[in-house]
């Protein structure tokens, strides 16, 4: 009897819940769903500068993808994207975590220094790009500092080996404060009593970090890594301003390359295919994150 | 009676409202990317002047950065959201015509009867493969060589280079890398801007022959690229050139960091940047044999976009803007060269310099026009950058570029 009385109420509430999420669902469908489907369809056609006006583009299946993956430049771009993302993630996360642990301590001027570190994160990325261009030029700040300690610095932005590390360094400069900020809020949620009890039990700093901080920070760490991966993987503006993806595509990533295909060379379908590859990579990472969250919930 | 009076009143209001609506000029959007203060002020003033001259259209000019404007055209080609009148860089026009961004205004312009006065090079950039016109060139420019006469004198020269061999010698002698001074500065960036500056050297005249981008494996093109590659490898030209825009190269020259610079007509309006620090002069680009030169035609076109609210009225504006008098006025104010042979620009500054650029126009060639020019352009700057950055062999690099260019020009040859 009891369950019979509850069920209709629950169904009603469920309807209400659906009703409340309907506007957001329609918004997402229109603003994100439609362009994504349009892009996916476009990637299966041969639309370019020659046939857009006449409307004679046709479906060519996965030919754009096959051509992209067989193209040396695209292989380099894909490699650059993963190298850039993973390297940035490692440096941003480890240094950001170290800063978060450091600034969690209370000491004079800690708030001021923390605020100063955040300046690089608050700066528009176009300014960061221009700064990077000047810092890493052959006679720039970095090489000048190296020269003062007797080291001849490399040609950062004009050498295919060093251009990507230079862009990675600038991205880390922006990413470290972002990681620090998120990790500090995670650290603040751990009660001091937990550490105090562990200290009374004789736990060393390393033990407290390994057995208290890391496990209790698991969800924060996952979120930081996940967000970091997404933001870094779809990077565009920093490369576009610092190097325009050059020299010789050495700093080209999926974002800049698909933009170049679509908006410079007007190879719309091929550009869409490159964007779909970017989307697919992020989709896999997103699914993996959801899987981990579900596992943790269980 | 009361009803009749009311009816008449309503009718009178409607008629006057209709008459008022008819008298209102049609609102027209013009997008441009003039970003220097001279150009921007002039286009805004001209638009105001034209609005005051007639009452058919009211033009609102909006500045949109060049790259963003190109993006908007590409998006607009699909969505249909375009301005009524749009500005475009001359080598890009063919692609946008092909994309359907601009409307065919051949009949209106032929009826004008003044097209014969336009220089064929700039005018051809407004045409499609069938010769239909989609706009008018508004200004043109080309590249020449700027020289720091003090640095040349210090190296033992009292004149500017006359040919490629002498130029090579002068670049070597004026270079002083230890003090951060290079013999030559130019832009070799991996964009259309880089291709613009690189092309004169690939099209250089050797043994009386010059080639276009559909024959880059020719010895003259290989020689031109080899010379530039040697400049970089011998430290006569900064390797930073692969990331430099034309503005960067010009500022390096103005700062006394380069003895010679490949510069554009518009730089004549920017010689104040030198600030009297040294004596300077301009000469034809010494890309090949004595008595020859090669250069690239630049400049901006204006077209009427597809879906324009009043094409005929907007064409009238283009005709006014590109009239004999207005062309001369623009050339003087913005430091450009008129696109019409009957326009006589009376420059009040750098008159000698302008004469060099006007002479250089006789040797300047257009880029394309070709719908797939951006792909051709990418092949050109990539080949050059591989020589500058990766020490690739110039002949091999240009052969690789031709594997991209040849199928494109085989399907749709260059004019």
Beta-carbon separation of A248 and B77 below 8 A? no
Is the predicted pLDDT of residue B11 greater than 80, yes or no?
A: no
Residues of A in contact with B77 (CB under 8 A): 52-53
How many Cα atoms are found within 13 Å in the side-chain-facing hemisphere of B152? 23
What pLDDT shows up at residue B2?
Answer: 62
Give dist(CA A10, CA B143) in Å, integer: 76
Interface test with A, best of B98, B134, B386, B400 (most A CBs within 10 A): B98
Interface test with A, best of B88, B93, B240, B371 (most A CBs within 10 A): B240
What pLDDT shows up at residue A2?
Answer: 46
Contact indicator for A248, B382 with CB cutoff of 8 Å = yes
Residues of B in contact with A143 (CB under 8 A): none
B 218-257 near A (Cβ less than 8 A): 238-240, 242-243
Interface test with B, best of A166, A246, A250, A271 (most B CBs within 10 A): A246
Could you give the C-alpha distances from A168 to A22, A227, B246, in angstroms and in order? 41, 17, 27
Give dist(CA B104, CA B123) in Å, integer: 14
Is the predicted pLDDT of residue B16 greater than 80, yes or no?
A: no
What pLDDT shows up at residue A194?
Answer: 92
What pLDDT shows up at residue A57?
Answer: 93
Contact indicator for B186, B261 with CB cutoff of 8 Å = yes
In the predicted model, what is the mean pLDDT of chain B?
A: 92
Tokens of B184: 């030559």
Q: Answer with the residue of higher pLDDT: A227 or B183.
A: B183
Q: In chain B, whose CA is at the least distance from the CA of A73? A: B382
Q: Could you say which of B100, B240, B374 has the minimum Cβ distance to residue A137?
A: B240
CB-based contacts of B270, cutoff 8 Å, min separation 6: B250, B335
Please write the tens of the pLDDT for every residue from B102-151. Answer: 999 999 999 999 999 999 889 999 999 889 999 999 999 999 999 999 99
Q: Does some domain include residue A18?
A: no
Beta-carbon separation of A50 and B98 below 8 A? yes
Tokens of B214: 């559909």
CB-based contacts of A63, cutoff 8 Å, min separation 6: A46
Q: Give yes or no for A71 touching B (CB within 8 A).
A: no
Contact indicator for A95, A158 with CB cutoff of 8 Å = no
Burial code of B189-207, b = ≥16 C-beta within 10 A, e = fewer? bbbbbbbbbbbbbbbbbbe
Contact indicator for B330, B338 with CB cutoff of 8 Å = yes
Q: Give yes or no for A18 touching B (CB within 8 A).
A: no
Q: Give yes or no for A265 touching B (CB within 8 A).
A: yes
What pLDDT shows up at residue B103?
Answer: 96
Contact indicator for B180, A139 with CB cutoff of 8 Å = yes
What pLDDT shows up at residue A155?
Answer: 92
Residues of B in contact with A158 (CB under 8 A): 239-240, 242-243, 389
Q: Does some domain include residue A22?
A: no
What pLDDT shows up at residue B13?
Answer: 58
Closest CA to A96 of A194, A193, A231: A231
Q: Does some domain include residue A58?
A: no
Hey, do B27-140+298-357 and B143-296+367-411 end up sharing a CATH topology, with the first three levels equal? yes
Please write the tens of the pLDDT for every residue from B138-192. Answer: 999 999 999 999 999 999 999 999 999 999 999 999 999 888 899 999 999 999 9
Give the DSSP H or E segment for B284: none
B300: closest CA of chain A, how far (Å): 17
Confidence band of A54 (pLDDT split at 50, 70, 90) = confident
Beta-carbon separation of B240 and A245 below 8 A? no
Is the predicted pLDDT of residue A223 greater than 70, yes or no?
A: yes
Q: Does some domain include residue A49?
A: no
Helices (H) and strands (E) in chain A, counts: 16, 0
Mean of the pLDDT values across residues A124-131? 94
Q: Could you say which of A53, A160, A265 has the minimum Cβ distance to residue B98?
A: A53
Contact indicator for B196, B369 with CB cutoff of 8 Å = no
Residues of A in contact with B99 (CB under 8 A): 49, 52-53, 266
Domain B27-140+298-357 in CATH 3.40.190.10: yes
Angle between helices A163-188 and A72-104 (to 10 degrees): 40
Is the predicted pLDDT of residue A1 greater than 50, yes or no?
A: no
3-state SS, residue B52: helix
Q: Beta strand pairing status for B26-32 and B85-89?
A: parallel
What pLDDT shows up at residue B256?
Answer: 96
Interface test with A, best of B89, B242, B412 (most A CBs within 10 A): B242
ipTM over the 0.90 cut-off: no
Beta-carbon separation of B243 and A247 below 8 A? yes
Is the predicted pLDDT of residue B20 greater than 70, yes or no?
A: no
Contact indicator for B237, B247 with CB cutoff of 8 Å = no
Closest CA to A138 of B349, B257, B289, B406: B257
B211: closest CA of chain A, how far (Å): 24
Residue matched to tokens 């300014």: A127
Beta bridge partners of B91: none
Residues of B in contact with A267 (CB under 8 A): 375
Mean of the pLDDT values across residues B245-255? 95
Q: Does some domain include residue A27?
A: no
Measure the CA angle with vertex B226, ends B224 and B227; round to 5°.
65
Q: Does some domain include residue A33?
A: no
A 150-189 near B (Cβ less than 8 A): 155, 157-160
Residues of A in contact with B95 (CB under 8 A): 49, 266
Beta-carbon separation of A265 and B375 below 8 A? yes
Please write the tens of the pLDDT for every residue from A21-34. Answer: 999 999 999 999 99
Which fold, B143-296+367-411? Answer: D-Maltodextrin-Binding Protein; domain 2 (3.40.190)
Give the DSSP H or E segment for B146: strand B143-148
A52: closest CA of chain B, how far (Å): 6
Closest CA to B230 of B181, B292, B165: B165
Contact indicator for B125, B91 with CB cutoff of 8 Å = yes
Q: In chain B, whose CA is at the least distance from the CA of A243? A: B243
Mean of the pLDDT values across residues A171-181? 93
The values of phi and psi at residue A37, to 5°, are -65, -40
What pLDDT shows up at residue A139?
Answer: 87
CB-based contacts of A79, cutoff 8 Å, min separation 6: none
3-state SS, residue A50: coil
Q: What is the CATH number of the domain that holds A95?
A: 1.10.3720.10
B275-B278-B281-B284 Cα dihedral, nearest 10 degrees: -100
- Chain-centroid distance of CA B25 in Å reads 33
Give dist(CA B386, CA B397) in Å, integer: 7
A154: closest CA of chain B, how far (Å): 12
Q: Does some domain include residue A117?
A: yes
What pLDDT shows up at residue A92?
Answer: 96
What pLDDT shows up at residue A9?
Answer: 63
CB-based contacts of B281, cutoff 8 Å, min separation 6: B146, B147, B149, B160, B352, B353
A 99-128 near B (Cβ less than 8 A): none
Beta-carbon separation of B243 and A264 below 8 A? no
CB pairs < 8 Å spanning A and B = 75
Mean of the pLDDT values across residues B378-382? 97
Q: Give yes or no for B95 touching A (CB within 8 A).
A: yes
Confidence band of A3 (pLDDT split at 50, 70, 90) = very low
Domain count, chain A: 1
Beta-carbon separation of A266 and B95 below 8 A? yes
Enumerate the domain spans of chain B: 27-140+298-357, 143-296+367-411
Tokens of A206: 């390393």
Please write the tens of the pLDDT for every residue from B325-343. Answer: 999 999 988 888 999 999 9
Mean of the pLDDT values across residues B30-42? 89
Beta-carbon separation of A266 and B78 below 8 A? no
Mean of the pLDDT values across residues A231-238? 94
| Strand ranges of the sheet holding B135-141, from the earlier edge strand across to the other edge | B57-63, B26-32, B85-89, B298-304, B135-141
- Range(s) of the domain holding residue A165: 67-297
Is the predicted pLDDT of residue B1 greater than 60, yes or no?
A: no
Mean of the pLDDT values across residues A113-140? 90
Q: Give yes or no for B323 touching A (CB within 8 A).
A: no
Count CB neighbours of A21 within 10 A: 11
Is the predicted pLDDT of residue B22 greater than 70, yes or no?
A: no
């Amino acid at each position: 009897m009891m369950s019979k009385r509850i069920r209709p109420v629950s169904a009603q509430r469920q309807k209400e819940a659906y009703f409340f999420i309907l506007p957001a669902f329609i918004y997402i469908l229109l603003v994100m769903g439609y362009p994504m489907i349009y892009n996916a369809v476009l990637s299966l056609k041969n639309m370019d500068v020659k046939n857009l006006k006449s409307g004679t583009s046709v479906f060519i299946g996965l030919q754009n993808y096959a051509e992209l993956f067989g193209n040396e430049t695209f292989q380099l771009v894909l490699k650059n994207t993963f190298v850039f993302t993973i390297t940035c993630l490692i440096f941003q996360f480890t240094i950001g975590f170290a800063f978060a642990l450091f600034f969690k301590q209370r000491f004079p001027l800690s708030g001021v220094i923390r605020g100063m570190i955040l300046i690089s994160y608050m700066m528009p990325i176009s300014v960061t790009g221009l700064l990077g261009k000047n810092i890493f030029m052959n006679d720039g700040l970095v090489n000048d500092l190296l020269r003062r300690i007797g080291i001849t610095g490399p040609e950062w932005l004009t050498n295919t080996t060093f251009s990507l590390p230079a862009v990675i360094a600038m991205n880390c400069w922006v990413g470290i404060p972002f990681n620090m900020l998120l990790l500090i809020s995670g650290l603040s949620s751990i009660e001091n009593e937990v550490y105090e009890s562990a200290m009374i039990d004789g736990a060393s700093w390393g033990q407290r970090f390994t057995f208290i901080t890391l496990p209790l920070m698991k969800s924060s760490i996952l979120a930081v890594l996940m967000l970091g991966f997404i933001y870094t993987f779809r990077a565009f503006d920093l490369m576009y301003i610092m190097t325009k993806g050059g020299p010789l595509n050495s700093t080209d990533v999926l974002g800049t390359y698909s933009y170049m295909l679509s908006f410079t060379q007007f190879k719309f379908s091929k550009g869409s295919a490159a964007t779909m590859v970017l989307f697919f990579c992020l989709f896999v990472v997103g699914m993996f994150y959801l899987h981990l969250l579900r596992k943790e919930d269980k | 009676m009361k009803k009749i009076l009311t009816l008449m009143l309503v009718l009178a209001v409607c008629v006057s409202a209709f008459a008022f609506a008819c008298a209102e000029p049609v609102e027209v959007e013009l997008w441009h990317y003039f970003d220097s203060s001279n150009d921007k002020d002039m286009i805004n003033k001209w638009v105001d002047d034209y609005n005051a001259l007639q009452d058919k259209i009211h033009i609102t000019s909006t500045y949109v950065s060049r790259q963003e404007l190109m993006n908007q055209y590409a998006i607009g080609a699909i969505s249909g959201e375009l301005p009524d009148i749009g500005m475009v860089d001359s080598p890009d026009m063919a692609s946008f015509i092909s994309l359907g961004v601009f409307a065919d205004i051949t009949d209106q312009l032929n009826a004008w009867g003044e097209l014969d006065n336009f220089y064929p090079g700039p005018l051809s950039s407004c045409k499609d493969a069938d010769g239909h016109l989609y706009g008018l060139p508004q200004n043109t420019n080309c590249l020449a060589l700027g020289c720091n006469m003090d640095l040349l004198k210090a190296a033992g020269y009292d004149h500017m280079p006359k040919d490629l061999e002498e130029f090579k010698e002068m670049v070597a002698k004026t270079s002083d890398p230890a003090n951060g001074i290079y013999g030559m500065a130019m832009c070799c960036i991996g964009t259309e801007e880089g291709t613009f500056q690189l092309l004169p050297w690939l099209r250089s005249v050797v043994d009386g022959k010059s080639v276009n981008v559909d024959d880059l494996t020719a010895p003259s093109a290989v020689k031109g690229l080899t010379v530039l590659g040697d400049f970089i490898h011998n430290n006569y030209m900064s390797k930073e050139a692969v990331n430099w825009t034309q503005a960067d190269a010009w500022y390096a020259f103005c700062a006394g960091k380069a003895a010679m610079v490949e510069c554009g007509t518009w730089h004549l309006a920017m010689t104040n940047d030198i600030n009297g620090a040294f004596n300077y002069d301009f000469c034809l680009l010494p890309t090949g044999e004595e008595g020859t030169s090669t250069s690239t035609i630049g400049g901006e076109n204006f077209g009427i976009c597809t879906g324009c609210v009043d094409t005929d009225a907007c064409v009238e504006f283009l005709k006014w803007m590109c009239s004999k008098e207005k062309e001369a006025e623009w050339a003087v104010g913005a430091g450009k060269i008129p696109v019409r042979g009957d326009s006589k620009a009376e420059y009040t500054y750098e008159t000698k310099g302008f004469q060099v650029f006007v002479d250089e126009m006789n040797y300047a060639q257009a880029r394309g026009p070709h719908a797939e020019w951006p792909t051709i352009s990418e092949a050109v700057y990539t080949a050059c950058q591989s020589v500058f950055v990766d020490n690739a062999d110039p002949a091999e690099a240009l052969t690789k570029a031709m594997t991209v260019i040849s199928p494109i020009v085989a399907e749709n040859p260059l004019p």
